[in-house]
Chain A
């Protein structure tokens, strides 16, 4: 049979961004796939070298606009470790609460758009409705829906939190997740599109550097929240699934949202019982230490690393972002071999790739 080369993207609606896949097809079957990225390359790492730390801080939210808090945290944590800045416990709990709310918002967006990719339109409206309630809350606290710029070196910008609002939101979401499950989890069309499709074995997931929910869906117990200091006093379960197909990646994310609600409630309990007003941040923006810092955070799309190298100047000498989506895109080179053309979007969508994060 004749081979055909097909360009999928860069302006394909299901890529949710600009990704180009160069596919080699034999009939309906994919023989090879080569992802072509870089359409959203903004030079985040180069820009960091010409700006002071405080000037760069608002930009880190833009690395991945769906989970800005995680990136702010990774960068702030790196600068705090570099300069030995103490963060009050109060601020740590606010950070965890905000990050987990952000994780739910990110997973909800993924859920809606993934079902949209598979041809189901209504779940998107439902998930966006709940996501909107979280974004409204973020707007109330930080003034922004997506680019928060809320974490600062040494704490958070201000600590006026409306706990009752959060409790209402998360209780509502807990109830709505059950509703989504009634709608989706046993749906025969959804099952036939996702069960046994795009299976990633354990060794493949590890070899290609998958992290986060995608790795846990392949049955590997790894969650960097276990090693993070700010999660030390917080109880949570790690969600695992063994099949490694699109369906288990869906299940892992659904249960992770429930775990996040559980974490948020613990944070609120702590914050309500410990009324501590954080000290004003005492830190001069002109004196920076020398050193190398590796700052990790478990983001919704995998393990995020902010590598910060300082030689004592007001600007970073080198800053590197490691993002989960970069490796989720890379694995397409391997796992798309032999699948049919119609399954590409089901597999690609299940990996939860956000393109600005890939290109940085």
Chain B
């Protein structure tokens, strides 16, 4: 059985897009299921991708199974707060810090959130679409 079918069977509320699985509120449970089920063993969280769509931010979790040699993407939509997954994948720590730094999303459950790239005194979150660019060299196209 295909791994997407297995997720669909256990979590009927998900939507399946072309190359990702979308969920509204069950992200933590799905990740726990994908890592914990022996036949699936999605044991590596590759990264967390955040995309700012101005009225919400989409978080995409690409997972890799070394057992099946397959890859699956789980996505969810958040406003300004999300649940940390560091208890399932400790490697998500730096990713969550990065998103906190560049998108301003705080992760509940991650106690040591810090600014990873920008200085701690920096104001604003650079990868947000409403972030004002003060450096004119960034807009060479005009």
**Which chain A residues have a beta carbon within 8 Å of chain B's beta carbons?**
37-38, 41, 43, 45-47, 50-52, 55, 206-209, 211, 215, 220-222, 226-227, 291-292, 294, 296, 303, 305, 307, 309, 315, 317-318, 320, 322, 326-327, 329-331, 333-334, 359
Which of B49, B94, B117 is close to A41, meaning CB atoms less than 8 Å apart?
B117
Tell whether, in the assembled complex, residue B117 and residue A303 are in contact, meaning their CB atoms are under 8 Å apart. no
**Which chain B residues have a beta carbon within 8 Å of chain A's beta carbons?**
18-20, 43-47, 49, 51-52, 60, 62, 64, 66, 69, 71, 73, 89-91, 93-94, 102, 115-118, 126-127, 133, 138-141
Tell whether, in the assembled complex, residue A317 and residue B66 are in contact, meaning their CB atoms are under 8 Å apart. no
Tell whether, in the assembled complex, residue A317 and residue B51 are in contact, meaning their CB atoms are under 8 Å apart. yes
Tell whether, in the assembled complex, residue B117 and residue A38 are in contact, meaning their CB atoms are under 8 Å apart. yes
Which of B49, B66, B141 is close to A220, meaning CB atoms less than 8 Å apart?
B66
The interface residues of chain A lying within 8 Å CB-to-CB of B91 are 207-209, 327, 330-331
Tell whether, in the assembled complex, residue A305 and residue B69 are in contact, meaning their CB atoms are under 8 Å apart. no
Tell whether, in the assembled complex, residue B126 and residue A46 are in contact, meaning their CB atoms are under 8 Å apart. yes
Minimum distance in angstroms from B45 CB to a CB of chain A: 6
The interface residues of chain B lying within 8 Å CB-to-CB of A52 are 141
Tell whether, in the assembled complex, residue B118 and residue A38 are in contact, meaning their CB atoms are under 8 Å apart. yes
Chain A contact surface mostly:
mixed
The interface residues of chain A lying within 8 Å CB-to-CB of B116 are 37-38
Minimum distance in angstroms from B124 CB to a CB of chain A: 12
Q: What are 16 sample pairs from A and B whose C-beta atoms fall under 8 A apart?
A: A37-B116, A38-B116, A45-B102, A51-B141, A55-B140, A55-B141, A207-B43, A208-B91, A209-B45, A209-B46, A222-B66, A222-B69, A305-B46, A318-B51, A320-B49, A326-B94
What separation, in Å, do the CA atoms of A324 and B71 have in the docked complex? 16
Which of B19, B62, B133 is close to A305, meaning CB atoms less than 8 Å apart?
B62
Minimum distance in angstroms from A326 CB to a CB of chain B: 6
What separation, in Å, do the CA atoms of A317 and B50 have in the docked complex? 12
Minimum distance in angstroms from A343 CB to a CB of chain B: 22
The interface residues of chain B lying within 8 Å CB-to-CB of A307 are 49, 60, 62
**Known contacts A46-B127, A207-B91, A208-B91, then 11 further A-B pairs from the complex at CB < 8 Å, ordered by chain A residue:** A38-B117, A50-B133, A211-B64, A222-B66, A227-B71, A296-B71, A303-B64, A318-B52, A320-B49, A322-B46, A330-B93
Tell whether, in the assembled complex, residue B66 and residue A221 are in contact, meaning their CB atoms are under 8 Å apart. yes
Chain A residue with the shortest CB-CB distance to B51: A318
What separation, in Å, do the CA atoms of A227 and B72 have in the docked complex? 13
Most buried by B among A55, A206, A307: A206
